[in-house]
Every structure is written in C-alpha cells, then in structure tokens.
C-alpha cells in the first residue's frame, strides 16, 4: 500500500505545483490511481525476474604449463582467477584446491601432475561452470626444448646467410695472434653464422675469437683447443668452402 500512497503523493504535488498534466483532474486522478496500483503489483515481479537471472562465471589461469618438481617463488606460481555475477555460491575442484570458494578471487596452485580445475557458481537463476587445465611437463622439458629451439634458429640463420653468398676456403692454420686478416675475418663471420660468436668482426684472433672457435669445435665433435688446424678447417670448408 505504501507504493500507492507514495505514487499518488508524487502525482498530486506534480499536478498542483507544476500544472504539467493537460487532462481533467478527474481523468488524471483515475489514470494515476490505476498506474500506481499497477506499480504496487509489478514491482515485486520485476525484482523477482532480476533475482532469477542466470549466473555467469569467468575463469582463467596465469600459466598453462609448469615443470614438474620445480620450486618457484610463491609469486611465480600459477594463479587461477575468477569472477561471477548473479551467483550466491561458488565451489572449485582440482588437485590441491577444492570446496567452497568466494564469488570472486585468486588462488595460487602448484599441482604435481597435469590437472583440470573446474569451478561451478550457482544462484536462483541456475548455475554456470567453467574449467582450465594446467599441464605439468617432465623435469628438463623446458631446457631441452630451449636448446633445440636455439640450435634450429642458429642453423636457419646460418643457412639463410650462406645462401646469401658467404663463401671462403681456409687453407692455413689459425691461432691466437694470427696475422692472416682475411682468413680470421672469414672465420669470425663463420662463427657468427654458427651462433658461437656475437661480437664485432675485426679480423683479429684474440680471446673472444678463441672462445668462439672452442664452441665451434665442441659443436662438431672436435677437440676444443681453440687452434684452427686441419680438422677444424675441414669442417669450416665443408660448411662454407667454395
């Protein structure tokens, strides 16, 4: 009844003070009584419809994969984040994390095996469910993949630049302090293409070139002495010789 009284009071004040209604007071009064009475019955229905809206759920994980037996810092652990609307309760399930949870929040997880985390949020309008999967890779997977990827990249770079025209034949031995500038310049170029030399190409054979030669020799199964002798020259010529 309070809805009707408040509605009629508002109409009366508006009609008397502002004179905005052009119809006769009798018609206006009857009309407004009908409108106000309707509001009394419709308001609970609107409120009820709003309360029956279906819940929504958003679920995400900061990382999709981790390495088994790793011991990352707490801040580096995968984080599951979620939020919901029109829900009155939420629950989660998955290794190391299950049971009732807040309607929105974050949770750190570190499962020992690949795990699918599922969350369900429910309300008067039904329920909503979503899942995320965190893959646990065997120890060493990341390192192996990184090495293979780096090697493939070096090979691709060397192939591309070789095809672009770099060629040289080494016929003399080279060592630290060698004065054969053209041969050393070509050596540094080859080492760069092989991904074992990342400094300026100068034509001078010193410590950085020595380190690059040793890495090149290790890469191709040659004793890593840093001396560019017959075996090392043969490998260089196979790769870049005229």
- Domain residues for the domain of 89 are 56-137
Domain finish residue from 17, 32, 51: 51
When pLDDT is cut at 50, 70 and 90, the band that residue 12 belongs to is: low
> How open is the CA angle 139-116-91, to the nearest 5 degrees?
135
pLDDT at 189 over 50: yes
Higher pLDDT, 153 or 134: 134
When pLDDT is cut at 50, 70 and 90, the band that residue 4 belongs to is: very low
The residue with tokens 């009064």 is: 29
Higher pLDDT, 33 or 112: 112
pLDDT for the residue numbered 150: 55
Lowest mean pLDDT among 47-51, 118-122, 124-128, 160-164: 160-164
Residues 67 and 119 in one domain: yes
Tokens of 224: 């890593």
Which of 56-60, 159-163, 228-232 holds the top average pLDDT?
228-232
Domain finish residue from 102, 137, 172: 137
Task: Round the average pLDDT of the chain to a whole number and report it.
Answer: 78
SS3 letters across the chain: CHHHHHHHHHHHHHHHHHCCCCCCHHHHHHHHHHHHHHHHHHHHHHHHHHHCCCCEEEEEECCCEEECCCCCCHHHCCEEEEEEECCCEEEEECCCCCEEECCCEEEECCCCCCEEEEEEEEECCEEEEEEEEEEEECCCHHHHHHHHHHHHHHHHHHHHHHHCCCCCCCCCCECCCCCCHHHHHHHHHHHHHCCCCCCCCCCCCCHHHHHHHHHHHHHCCCCCCCCECHHHHHHHHHHHCC
Domain finish residue from 122, 137, 152: 137
Percent of the chain exceeding pLDDT 90 equals 38
Rg over alpha carbons for the chain, rounded to the nearest Å, is 38
Residues 190 and 225 in one domain: yes
Residues 39 and 91 in one domain: no
Residues 195 and 229 in one domain: yes
Give the Cα separation of 148 and 136 in Å (integer). Answer: 20
What total of structural domains would you count in the chain?
3
Q: What is the mean pLDDT of residues 33-58?
A: 63
Q: Which of 29, 25, 100, 111 is nearest to 70 (CA)?
A: 111
When pLDDT is cut at 50, 70 and 90, the band that residue 138 belongs to is: confident
pLDDT for the residue numbered 128: 93
Residues 206 and 169 in one domain: yes
pLDDT at 167 over 50: yes
Phi and psi (nearest 5°) for 67?
-100, 135
């Amino acid at each position: 009844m309070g809805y009707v009284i408040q509605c009629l009071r508002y109409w009366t004040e508006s009609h008397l003070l502002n004179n905005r209604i052009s119809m006769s007071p009798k018609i206006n009064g009857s009309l407004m009584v009908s409108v106000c009475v309707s509001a009394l019955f419709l308001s609970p229905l609107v409120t009820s419809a709003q309360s029956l809206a279906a819940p929504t759920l958003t679920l995400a994980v900061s990382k999709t994969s981790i390495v088994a037996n790793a011991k990352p810092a707490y801040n580096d652990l995968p984080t599951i984040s979620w939020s919901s609307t029109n829900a009155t309760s939420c629950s989660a399930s998955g290794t190391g994390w299950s049971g009732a949870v807040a309607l929105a929040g974050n949770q750190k997880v570190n499962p020992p095996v690949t795990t699918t985390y599922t969350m369900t949020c429910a309300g008067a309008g039904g329920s909503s469910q979503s899942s995320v999967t965190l893959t646990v890779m065997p120890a060493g997977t990341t390192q192996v993949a990184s090495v293979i990827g780096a090697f493939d990249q070096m090979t691709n770079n060397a192939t591309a630049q070789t095809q672009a025209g770099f060629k040289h034949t080494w016929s003399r031995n080279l060592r630290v302090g060698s004065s054969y500038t053209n041969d050393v310049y070509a050596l540094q170029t080859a080492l760069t293409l092989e991904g074992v030399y990342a400094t300026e190409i100068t034509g001078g054979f010193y410590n950085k070139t020595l380190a690059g030669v040793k890495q090149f020799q290790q890469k191709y199964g040659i004793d890593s002495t840093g001396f560019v002798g017959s075996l090392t020259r043969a490998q260089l010529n196979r790769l870049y010789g005229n």
